[in-house]
Structure formats: C-alpha cells, structure tokens
C-alpha cells in the first residue's frame, strides 16, 4: 500500500498479474520433457534394482569431480541467462548480449567437459554395451547432451540477434522461451548427476 499524505488518500498498488514467461506451448513441451525424464529415471532405478552390485562397481569408474564441475557450469549458465532476461525486462539492451554470451560459453564448456568424459570412457574400453549401467549412463547423458547442444545453438542465435538490438522489454517472448528451455536443461542435470554419480549402494 502507498499513501498520498498530501490528500490523505490510500491507494492500492496495482497487483502484478501472474504470467508464464514466453508462450504456453513452450511450457507444455517443458512439462512433457520433464515427465519423459522422470520415466527414464524410474526405468534406471528399476534396472538398478535387479543388479545393484554392477551399478555400484560401474558408478565408481565415473569422474565425480568432473560431474560436480559440470553442475557448477550449468548453474552459472542458467544464472547468466536469467540475468539477461532481467536486463531485457528493464530495457538495458546493451547489457543483454554479454549475459547471453555467458550462457553460450558455459554451454560450450559443458560440451567440452562431457567430451573429455566420453573420451576417458572409450579409452578405458567402456561402451554402452559394456553393461546395463553404462547403457543408461550413455543414454541419459547423451539425451541430455543433445538438449545442451540444441540449447546452446538457440542461445547463440539469441546472442547474435540481441547484438542487433532485436529484443526489448516489449519484444522478449522468444528470449523468454529459450531461457525457460535452458533452465530445464539445467534442472535435468541437477537430478541426473546424483542419480548416476553419487548414488551409493547401502
């Protein structure tokens, strides 16, 4: 509430309307993707139920430090993109490209890190067919990596367009859609990382 003391009138601030960033269709896609990943997680856990010893032994071959660093990279990426949207809402269009570029670069860093991890595995003779754990490891991380590649491409497009001042507080539907998708990529990894790398056997 704010008060106009000179005239002694109390005026209610206008209530900020609730809204979804971007367009509704993107949220349907995000919801569907989240459900698909939840089903994949359940399938992984069901496979683990039948052979916990193999899953535990295989888990120890993963590079936990690299997985943790991947999480820090994606969180930083999400943060940078979120800052870009905040700048856009305030029409600070000069600042938007730098935040989007931060998202692009951290997306690329994640890809490099994941490539290093895959090369390590292949060098050790580990393949998706090695056992059930590695089939799931390559499936979950591979599908997620495809999301990262797609998201980084979209962010690159946004970055190029934002340098030409194509977006503003009134024209931010596309950046909001891409940002929402990019945050989905982040949150999926937040769950994939402990599922594969940190889940100890009893």
Give the residues lining the site for other proteins (CB under 8 A). Answer: 16, 18-21, 27, 31, 34, 38, 41-42, 45-46, 48-49, 52, 64-65, 67-68, 71-72, 75-76, 78-79, 81-83, 85-87, 90, 92, 95, 179-180, 183-184, 186-187, 190-191, 193-195, 197-202
State the Cα–Cα distance between residues 95 and 146, nearest whole angstrom.
28
Q: Which residues have a Cβ under 8 Å from the Cβ of 181 and sit 6 or more positions away?
A: 26, 29, 30, 151, 154
In whole angstroms, the minimum distance from the beta carbon of 129 to other proteins comes to 23
In whole angstroms, the minimum distance from the beta carbon of 116 to other proteins comes to 17
In whole angstroms, the minimum distance from the beta carbon of 9 to other proteins comes to 28
State the Cα–Cα distance between residues 195 and 182, nearest whole angstrom.
20
Helix axes 132-163, 96-123, angle to 10 degrees: 160
- The distance in angstroms from the start CA to the end CA of the chain is 55
Specify whether the CB–CB gap between 93 and 151 falls below 8 A.
no
In whole angstroms, the minimum distance from the beta carbon of 32 to other proteins comes to 12
DSSP 11: E
Of residues 6 and 19, the one with the C-beta less far from other proteins: 19
Of residues 11 and 198, the one with the C-beta less far from other proteins: 198
Of residues 146 and 190, the one with the C-beta less far from other proteins: 190
């Amino acid at each position: 509430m704010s008060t106009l003391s000179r005239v002694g009138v109390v005026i209610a601030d206008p209530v900020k309307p609730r809204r979804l960033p971007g367009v509704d269709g993107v949220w349907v896609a995000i919801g569907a993707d989240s459900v698909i990943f939840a089903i994949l997680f359940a399938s992984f856990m069901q496979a683990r139920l039948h052979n916990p010893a193999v899953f535990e032994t295989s888990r120890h071959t993963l590079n936990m430090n690299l997985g943790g660093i991947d999480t820090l990279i994606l969180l930083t990426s999400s943060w940078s993109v979120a800052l870009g949207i905040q700048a856009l809402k305030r029409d600070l269009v000069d600042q938007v490209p730098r935040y989007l570029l931060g998202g692009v670069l951290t997306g690329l860093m994640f890809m490099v890190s994941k490539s290093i991890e895959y090369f390590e595995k292949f060098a050790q003779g580990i393949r998706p067919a090695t056992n059930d754990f590695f089939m799931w490891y390559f499936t979950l991380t591979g599908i997620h990596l495809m999301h990262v590649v797609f998201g980084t491409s979209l962010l690159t497009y946004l970055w190029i367009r934002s340098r030409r001042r194509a977006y503003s507080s009134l024209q931010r539907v596309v950046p909001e859609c891409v940002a929402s998708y990019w945050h989905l990529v982040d949150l999926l990894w937040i769950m994939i990382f402990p599922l594969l790398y940190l889940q100890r056997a009893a």
